[in-house]
Structures are given as structure tokens and as C-alpha cells.
Structure 1
Amino acid sequence: MALDRSPTLNSLGFSKPPSETRVVVAMSGGVDSSVVAAMLSDEGYDVVGVTLQLYDHGAALAKKGACCAGIDIHDARRVAEEKGFPHYVLDYENIFQDAVIDEFADSYLAGATPVPCIRCNERVKFKDLLETAKDLDADCMATGHYIQRKMGEEGPELHSAADPTRDQSYFLFSTTPEQLDYLRFPLGHLPSKDDTRRLAAKYGLAVADKPDSQDICFVPNGDYASVIEKLRPGAAEPGEIVDSTGNVLGRHNGVIHYTIGQRRGLGIGGLSDPLYVVKLDVDNHRVVVGPKDMLSTRTIPVREINWLGDEPFASKDEWPVAVKVRSTRPPREAILRPLGPHTAEVELLTPEEGVSPGQACVFYETEGSRILGGGWIWRGVV
């Protein structure tokens, strides 16, 4: 009988002992990434913790308790000290400003509803930080994201987290196959966030009961307009609130104060039927309102597509998929029709309300948990 001499893989997928496997852990200072670092250190891996300083912590834009604020850097450093692995703080303020914050402001001013967390993952954490991890001779980089990396017949695949209430796949659709080969997500298989906190208590971490941070770290209290006004002084120009035929119903203090689908705070009371923001006409400084049925969308143009399927994206005229058009909404069945290497049209089988340019459209298998990619919704939504 022949002996099985195939190499035994460690928990991160390498055929060598954990002590010989270096892993850089992206540490935000929160409970999730702290647990990842402590767990891998406890398993004997050669852990290096890295925390990014993304903005001036004394500035008005910084939010107390937000990801990558001053207290979080302190918390990440304390975990590293307690567990005995090296920890570095990298100043990425300029990169974050150029790659994330400036585009956020400009997109918002253009009437879009941007998702800066996706750009941060794409342009900072999974790009510059990942290259830094390679410079440190790490075998891989691990994060505290709730998403799963599974090996398929053609290589690593991206799958939704086991806990659908914590799943972060919407924010990670732009992860490329090359990045996925290098990344690890040790928490994605956990049934719930409670399990993460129990692990934090097991490892004696002071952050075990620390509240979750907001996704958008540089937006205090979710007040997008105030952030835009700080970043682009004088950008908010007043204008008219009109219905779909151009009848003036009122005035506003700046398009940046409104989002697609908004009903409250329009300042046009006294009307018999409720009205919603259905379009932001930035060029003419107009907020267009209408009845709820005007928010219904069936066809979505998508660009900057990142494809994670096994077959080439343009190898088929159409793909049956499920799509998410907002992070808080469940996937809906759709037909994905490629128009080019990185552009497509998505036809929703059931119309969605409030689909907005600037949001992401993420593609999933119709059955199963695999993420097939995604792209950015742009003007022309119908």
C-alpha cells in the first residue's frame, strides 16, 4: 500500500508549520481584527500587525470611536503588546485623501451616492497595504472582514459570510483574483458576531465588548452634507424643487442635502400625496420629486466591472445572477448582459426602488454563496 506523501496544509493553506508562516494582520483596533491577530498568534503563526492612520485624528472630520481613529490605534497596539507580536502604524493620510475622500466629495457633488468603504478596500487596504505585506515577506495578509475564501476547481473563490447579518461581500466585490490568492478571512465561517466576542474574551482582549465602528469612518454621525461642505466650501448652491414636469414646488439649500428615495425633510408640505426624491439634476441645481412608483428601476447600467467567475466575462451573451444594489438589501434575481470587458447592463426580474448612481451592483450565484464580481451603477438608470 503506497503512503500518502501529500503535504499537510496549515490553517492558512500553506504546507509548512505556522511558526514558519508569516502573516500580516490588518488591525483597525476593533474586536474583529484584534481577534484575528490574537487567534493566529495563539496558533503559532509569525504575526505582524499593521494599522493604518487614515486621517488627522484631531480634525473635525474624525469621529470618536470610528475605524482608524486615535483610540483605535492605541487599542491595536495594546493587543500586539499583550500577545507579543510586532505592530506598525503606517501614515496613509495622503493616500486616503487622494484615493477615497476626494472622490467621495466629487461624486456626491455630481449627484451620486458613493460608497467610500469599497474604494478604501480596493485602493488602500487591498492595494498599498497588501504590497506592504509583501515587502515584509509575509506569506499572506489576514483581515477581520466577514466574508469567506474557499478553494474551487479553478482557484480561490469569494463567498458570502456564514452569518448573513454580518456579511461584507457588498464592500469587497472589487477584490481581484490576484488579491484573493494572497488574502485570508479567518472570521467568515463564524455563525455570529457573538462567537467573535467569545473568542475575544477567550484571548483576554480588552476590546471584547468594544462597540462596532461605523462603516464610513470620516463621516461624523452620518452627516454627509456637513462633510462635503468642509471638503468643498461653497459647493452647496440653492435651487428649485420641481416635479417630473418641471413645476416648481419649493426651494432647497443645496442638492448635497438630498438622496434618491428621500421622503422626509423636503420642505414641500401641504401636498395630498407623498413625494420622493427621484432625481438629482446637478447641472441645473434641481431636486426632482415624484410619486413612489417613479423610484422603480428595472434596467441598471454598470461599469468598472470586476469579474470573479471561472469563465471569461464576455464569453456569454448573458449570465443569470442575483444582484445586490445596496448593502442592506437581499440579492434579487437578474440577467447580466456584458457590453464590453468592464461594462454591462443588468435587468432586474423584479424592479427595485431607489437605485442610485454611485452605488455598487454586486453579482452572486443564483444558488449558493459565491460572489461573481460587481461594478458601479452610473447615470442612465431606468
Structure 2
Amino acid sequence: MTISIPRGTQDILPGEVEKWQLIEKKARELCERFQYKEIRTPIFEHTELFTRSVGDTTDIVQKEMYTFLDRGKRSLTLRPEGTAAVVRSFVEQKMFGQANQPVKLYYMGPMFRYERPQAGRFRQFVQFGVEALGSADPAVDAEVIVLAYSLYQSLGLKKLKLIINSLGDKESRSAHRQALIEHFRPRIDEFCGDCQGRLEKNPMRILDCKKDRDHELMKSAPSILDYLNDESRAYFEKVQKYLTDLQIPFEVDSNLVRGLDYYNHTAFEIMSDAEGFGAITTLCGGGRYNGLVEEIGGPETPGIGFALSIERFIAALHAENIDLPLHEGLDVYLVALGEDAKDYSVGLLHQLRMEGFSAERDYLDRKIKAQFKAADRMNARAVAILGEDELKENKINVKTLATGDQVEYPLDQFIDKFKEAFGK
């Protein structure tokens, strides 16, 4: 019986996983510079967390969650996104009482959504995201956007497009909500069932519908920007000013809604403009969610964050034909000939590794020619050759494969001499 991988998942093999590791390393380095600290939350949470925070009118909650009952008949859900769990931890662990505010966190890990697999989209996917909780300063909005934008730039992406919008505060959204209901209600029967169900519950979500995106009422729908009150408008203008000051190019799109119910004020997406990237161009999305902490049982606390897919990051790199600066290859391959030399090479190999070198030796009892071929395949910088005679005479030969140069070192000084010649 052959057991295959579940649909919508993938194996990330050596040769490819190094790209993931580099992106993750860059993300961690940026977060350290921006003073965001890592948080790790469970892969599954109580289902109520997502229905309350993400919103029961969203596609995620209605169609895409992996939900199950445990043995205690409790409803649990594999996390479909990261923000809700981070905010739950913020409330439960009383991080709002910490001296250093705002609390700036980042996470990285697998998320799960039952959706149709397609290029760059999987049912298990990896998200990197940040959350800044405790400040309503528009400068934090700009900081969060710049962090995401800088990560893409740090690995060479150039064909990026930043789209921003304001969803306004409660007062602005309420006025816009009523305008949307009045706009869509007379012809709502021309829209899909999901949109019909959203009309009264969350009409703004209609603007995010993929099925009816070309309907004429979509193009003439009232813009949230026309309903922003003075406070919301001033806030949005500050965000735009900071992005301009930081020389981050952006476009304002009043139809940008985002797919989750908890957003207000700033919303943004970073897209790929690379030719051939695909129909779904969004790389990253986020926004402000003042009110979410209270929804999960915490005190009134403003927040903002974003999440990006590592899979789509890699797809964008491929679309722009960017070769990542991966560290590939081996520092040294030990060729040992004869039983005593093979035995001695075990300890020598360990010493090299403990000194920081990537090192390998033969484990298949191959001839010297086959061992050299193995060193070539592993892209070794050098080969260290130890035979029975060399062992008796306390010496070892080191050949630099790129030049063919070969030198002889005293065996008891080999590690120090190798460090002098090859660094570390």
C-alpha cells in the first residue's frame, strides 16, 4: 500500500528548505532590529476564539477551518491565522500590564485552511507575522508596514506594490455600513448567496467577494474614504505622511477591505507586480484592529499587525528570477584509507565540526576515487586525506579542490593549520 501526502500540503526537501531558512533568518534579524520579540502559541485553539475574533461572516470561519471535537467533546480548531492566538495570549498572560509598551511580538509557523489548493496556496502553509499591541500612534502603523516591505526588499524583490486604505473608526464604519446596505439592497438578489447573507451582518465584506467582483454595483459602491470623520481622516493622512517620509511608495485603494472582521483604520496589502506571478498577487496583508483585545476579554487596547505567506514569498522570488545567497557546500571532506585511519577520522571529524566547520566523511567503505567524487558532489572546499602511512608519520594531506593545490600538515596541528588556511 502506498501512502501519499494529503492534498494541499507539501514536503520541503533539502535543496529547497534552505530558501525557507534564509527567509526565516532575515525575518528574525529584522524583528530584532525593530524590537519585536518572538511568541509561540498552540497550533490548535478553542473554536470560539476564531469565531469571535476572525468573524462568523468570513470565508475562513464559514468554509475553511479545520474543526474537530476532542475526547472531552470540546470544539477545537487548527489555527487558520496567527493574530487571534497572539491576542488571546496577550490577554491571558496579562501582557497589557508589562512596563514596556507597546508590546511588540512576532510569530512564525504553520496555519491551516481548507481551501482549493492552487499555485502558492496550500491547506497547510507557513505564516510570518507581527503584532504591535498598546499604541494608537499612526507611526506604529507605518513601522509595521515598513517592516514587511523591508523584508521583501532585503532578499532582492523589486516589483512590489503597496496598497493602503482606511476602514475608519466605529463611527465612520457605521455610516459607511448603512450606505452600503442602501446601495446593494435593491439588487442583492443578483449577487451570490454569501453576499446576500452578508448584506445585514457585514456589508463591507461584499466588496471583498471574488465571485461578484465585476458586478457594476461593485464599481459604483460608496467609498469608505467619503465617510471618514475628521479624526479618522487625520489619522490616515498621518500614516501616508510617514510612509512618504520613509520613501515607501504606496497607492490608496478605497476598495481594499481585507478578509477579517477585526480590522479598522489602516488596512494594507503588499502585492507582486512580477510578470507571470499569477492571478492572486497578494504577498502580505494586515491592518489595525482596535477592539479585538476587548472582544477576547481584555482591556481596551489598540493593535496593528500583518501576516505573510512564506510560500508566496518564495513564489515571488522565482517570478523575479532571484537566486538567494544560500550557503551551499562543505568546508572539508575527510578521505580515510585503512581501518586505523578510518577509526581516527571519527574523532577528527568531530573536532572539525566543533570548531565550526561543516565536515563529512565516507560511511560506505568506498575507494579513494569514489570518495573524491562524493566530495565533488557535496561541493567541498577541501579534501583532507589520511592513510595508514600518514597516520603513522603524524601527517595529513589537504587538497583545495578549486585550485588543485595540496599541502601537508602535521596531524597533531591539523585543526589549527586548517583554521588558519580556511577561516573560522
TM-score by length of 2: 0.22
Greater C-alpha radius of gyration = 2
